[in-house]
Amino acid sequence: MPNLFSPLVVRSVQFKNRIVVSPMCQYSSEDGFANDWHLVHLGSRAVGGAGLVLTEATAVSPEGRISPDDLGIWKDEHVPFLKRITTFLEAHGAVPGIQLAHAGRKASHTRPWDGGKFIAPDAERGWQTLAPSPVPFTESEPEPLELNAAGIEKVIADFGKATERALEAGFKVIEIHAAHGYLIHEFLSPISNKRTDQYGGSFENRIRLLLEVVERVQAVWPKENPLFVRISATDWTEGGWTADDAVALAKQLLSKGIDLIDCSTGGNVAGARIPLGPGYQVQFAEKVKKEAGILTGAVGLITTPEHANDIVASGQADLVLLARELLRDPYFPLHAAKTLGEETDWPSQYLRAK
């Protein structure tokens, strides 16, 4: 069995270990541009030894941002600074990956440290939010606009154009964000999708947007490069998306050529009761891996080297994504190697501290 420090080859890309920087919004962009913050933030985690560094949710259109301060990839001018980041990540042994996202009905909010409040479309910095159906996320927010056929085609086209730019910027992995109650998840879940056309109703109809996005991305993305999808494996709510739905979806995504399912949960139902605890979502990565036969990533409250190692060594998941622990300690992979008695390369500049 492999462990946390076993390399993994997916298509023609090799990850030097199984530790992934989970996507984390930084709310630090102006007009979607990456800047020094993103270079230092992501770059530090490459220097810290992560095998794959994923960017935060990167908006495929301005209206697809969670906040006006989100990172974006909706215009060609965004590419050069992203390229600088991917060049640095690769130079330090990390595979550069990008999470492509559309926030749907959860768009147009202030950043968390400004309260995370809804910004009305007619207010400064606000815009009209879009969704499968006019169902707001919380009662205090107005109804989002239901996407019509042209709106859906624009979303799909935006993912395609973003993929062209991601390729030009030097990313080697794309993760399509279909989790956490954002646009694609809103289509997947019967709680937020009340449509009666071919994008709503049955399971097959609700997954259609995601499959069409996947096809458009694949039309551009080279076959040598891995393509991941992040899902919420359950809505943790009666009548919502379930773990069995996640398995059924994963089987279809596998047959379409998706390489890995990153298994998160929740985010589509305000106030859902989630049994938080160490590794509380790992069971979903394990179920999807075993029942759909696809590579999976585990994420959520994984904070120790031993736990991360066990997840890989016991075959529950193939990659381990860490978010907050890597904010606390960008050098977690180097420290984990020491704890686990694994030999790992340190940056030459830091060798005297090894």
Ligand X SMILES: Cc1cc2nc3c(=O)[nH]c(=O)nc-3n(C[C@H](O)[C@H](O)[C@H](O)COP(=O)(O)O)c2cc1C
Out of 19, 100, 131, 322, name the contact with ligand X by CB under 6 A. Answer: 322
Taking CB atoms, the residue at the shortest distance from ligand X is 323
Candidate ranges 177-185, 218-226, 289-297, 332-340; the one touching ligand X (CB under 6 A): 177-185
Please tell me whether residue 47 binds ligand X under the rule CB under 6 A: no
Q: Please tell me the distance from the alpha carbon of residue 156 to that of residue 251, in angstroms, as a whole number.
A: 21
Q: Please tell me the distance from the alpha carbon of residue 213 to that of residue 159, in angstroms, as a whole number.
A: 7
Please tell me whether residue 274 binds ligand X under the rule CB under 6 A: no
Q: Which of 182, 280, 331, 350 is catalytic?
A: 182
Sketch the per residue contact string, 214 through 253, with ligand X: x for CB under 6 A, - otherwise: ----------------x-----------------------
Please tell me whether residue 336 binds ligand X under the rule CB under 6 A: no
Candidate ranges 138-146, 149-157, 173-181, 202-210; the one touching ligand X (CB under 6 A): 173-181
Residue with tokens 């984390």: 24
* Residues pairing with 57 in the sheet: 99
In angstroms, give the least distance from the CB of 155 to ligand X.
18
Candidate ranges 3-11, 219-227, 299-307, 337-345; the one touching ligand X (CB under 6 A): 299-307
Coil/strand/helix, residue 63: helix
Closest to ligand X by CB, 22 or 129: 22
Please tell me whether residue 38 binds ligand X under the rule CB under 6 A: no
Out of 10, 24, 95, 308, name the contact with ligand X by CB under 6 A. Answer: 24
Tell me whether strands 130-131 and 8-10 are parallel, antiparallel or unpaired: unpaired
Q: Please tell me the distance from the alpha carbon of residue 64 to that of residue 209, in angstroms, as a whole number.
A: 15
Please tell me whether residue 110 binds ligand X under the rule CB under 6 A: no
Tell me whether strands 227-232 and 130-131 are parallel, antiparallel or unpaired: unpaired
Q: Which of 58, 56, 63 is nearest to 126 (CA)?
A: 63
Q: Return the exposure string of 300-331: e unless at least 16 CB atoms fall within 10 Å of the residue's CB, then b.
A: bbbeebebbbbbbeeebbbbbbbbebbeebbb
Please tell me whether residue 195 binds ligand X under the rule CB under 6 A: no
Q: Please tell me the distance from the alpha carbon of residue 351 to that of residue 143, in angstroms, as a whole number.
A: 56
In angstroms, give the least distance from the CB of 57 to ligand X.
3
Please tell me whether residue 107 binds ligand X under the rule CB under 6 A: no
Q: Please tell me the distance from the alpha carbon of residue 336 to that of residue 310, in angstroms, as a whole number.
A: 12
Closest to ligand X by CB, 57 or 269: 57
Q: Which of 152, 188, 151, 175 is nearest to 268 (CA)?
A: 188
Closest to ligand X by CB, 111 or 256: 111
Is the distance from CB of 173 to CB of 166 less than 8 angstroms? Answer: no
Closest to ligand X by CB, 177 or 216: 177
Please tell me whether residue 67 binds ligand X under the rule CB under 6 A: no
Dihedral sign for Cα atoms in the order 336, 228, 239, 316 = negative
Distances (CA, A) of 168 to 95, 161, 230: 15, 11, 22
Containing H/E element for 56? strand 52-59
Please tell me whether residue 99 binds ligand X under the rule CB under 6 A: yes
Closest to ligand X by CB, 45 or 230: 230
Q: Residue 331 catalytic? A: no
In angstroms, give the least distance from the CB of 149 to ligand X.
28
Please tell me whether residue 56 binds ligand X under the rule CB under 6 A: yes
Please tell me whether residue 32 binds ligand X under the rule CB under 6 A: no
Tell me whether strands 8-10 and 13-15 are parallel, antiparallel or unpaired: antiparallel
In angstroms, give the least distance from the CB of 261 to ligand X.
13
List of residues contacting ligand X (CB under 6 A)? 22-25, 56-57, 99, 177, 179-180, 230, 264, 299-302, 322-325
What amino acid positions are annotated as catalytic residues?
Answer: 182
